[in-house]
A = this chain, B = another copy of it.
Amino acid sequence: MEEKERYDVIVVGAGMAGLSAALTLRLHNLKILWLGTPLLSEKIRKAEKIKNYPGISSVSGEDFGALLRVQAEEAGLSIVSETATGIYAMGGYFAVSTEKNTFESLSVILATGVESVKSVAGEEEFLGRGVSYCATCDGFLYKGKTIAVVCTSKEKEGEADYLASLAEKVYYIPLYKDPAFSAPNAEMVGGMPLKIEGKKRVEKLLFKDRELAVDGIFFLKSAAPPAVLVGGLKTEAEHVAVARDMSTNIKGLFAAGDCTGRPYQYAKAAGEGNVAAHSVVEYLRSLR
């Protein structure tokens, strides 16, 4: 068997916290894998004028994103455009699976941000029993079946296309503006899904005024909730519980940025990414 390349650190997420971590890790000449969407976070692009980020006087979100992309390139950093679907502590190292690959590393920085969209009641409970976050991983299980696809971002519409090519019937629930997805076997459903019900497995997705009978539900988000992504990770409400050095309850796994809690601010995310990177450097030193 071919031996797997092992990274020093995998940075999961390419928003402000991920960038800040990657820039600092880069200065330490570590072997880094940086996973995320190639646009350096949709959120940065969407942001209005930024007024309280030290060093940047009142810039638009779009210009700020461009600036950050240039900086990342100049630093020789490149983003691998895959979404982490699971992070596993293997004892001494981590395995990080995406929709296409499994990567290995000695440490991980989780910088996945927060979903602006709330979880649906039952989402965690039914994970692996009809709930999935990964079209590529689990889509084939629903060949010829009826599924709901809850999508929080236009950029995930391609994955919905893929699911529609497999399932017999798709209820498509877009939680963003101006959805452009369509398929002959898809029905668009408006409103917020409230609750998942079922005995052993998912059976229904409930809305305020209707319910859909389904075999499975795909949540197409930019990242799965931290507790789902990393089994055994300690969280407080929807946020990763971290110490001042950004360490989590899992040795070698650090977190930074919005996923660790409020305020959801660029400066905070940049600071935490920086601190997490320094903690990784110390952690790797402790392994030698």
Give the interface of A toward B (CB within 8 A): 16, 19-20, 23-24, 26-27, 51-58, 64, 67-68, 70-71, 74-75, 242, 244, 261-263, 265-275, 278
Instruction: Determine the chain B residues whose CB is within 8 A of the CB of A56 once the complex forms.
Output: 55-56, 71
Q: Which residue of B lies closest to A279 (CB)?
A: B263
In whole angstroms, how far apart are the Cα atoms of A19 and B56 in the complex? Answer: 12
The listed residue (B75, B265, B270) touching A267 by CB distance below 8 A is B270
In the complex, how many angstroms separate the beta carbon of A257 from the nearest chain B beta carbon? Answer: 10
Does A274 contact B52, Cβ atoms closer than 8 Å?
A: yes
Does B244 contact A262, Cβ atoms closer than 8 Å?
A: no
Does A270 contact B51, Cβ atoms closer than 8 Å?
A: no
In the complex, how many angstroms separate the beta carbon of A285 from the nearest chain B beta carbon? Answer: 14
Does A20 contact B267, Cβ atoms closer than 8 Å?
A: yes
Instruction: Determine the chain B residues whose CB is within 8 A of the CB of A268 once the complex forms.
Output: 271, 274-275
Known contacts A19-B54, A20-B52; 12 additional CB pairs below 8 A are A23-B51, A23-B53, A51-B75, A55-B68, A244-B261, A265-B278, A267-B270, A267-B271, A267-B274, A269-B271, A271-B271, A271-B272
Instruction: Determine the chain B residues whose CB is within 8 A of the CB of A24 once the complex forms.
Output: 52, 265, 267
In whole angstroms, how far apart are the Cα atoms of A74 and B52 in the complex? Answer: 11
In whole angstroms, how far apart are the Cα atoms of A86 and B63 in the complex? Answer: 43
Does A54 contact B16, Cβ atoms closer than 8 Å?
A: yes
In whole angstroms, how far apart are the Cα atoms of A268 and B246 in the complex? Answer: 12
Instruction: Determine the chain B residues whose CB is within 8 A of the CB of A57 once the complex forms.
Output: 67, 70-71, 74
Instruction: Determine the chain B residues whose CB is within 8 A of the CB of A68 once the complex forms.
Output: 54-55
In the complex, how many angstroms separate the beta carbon of A168 from the nearest chain B beta carbon? Answer: 46
* 21 A-B pairs in the complex with CB atoms less than 8 angstroms apart: A20-B54, A20-B267, A24-B267, A26-B52, A54-B68, A54-B273, A55-B55, A55-B56, A55-B67, A56-B56, A57-B70, A57-B71, A244-B261, A263-B275, A265-B271, A267-B273, A268-B274, A269-B271, A270-B270, A270-B271, A271-B271
In whole angstroms, how far apart are the Cα atoms of A271 and B271 in the complex? Answer: 4
In the complex, how many angstroms separate the beta carbon of A56 from the nearest chain B beta carbon? Answer: 5
Instruction: Determine the chain B residues whose CB is within 8 A of the CB of A278 once the complex forms.
Output: 262-263, 265
In whole angstroms, how far apart are the Cα atoms of A57 and B68 in the complex? Answer: 9
Instruction: Determine the chain B residues whose CB is within 8 A of the CB of A52 once the complex forms.
Output: 20, 23-24, 26-27, 274
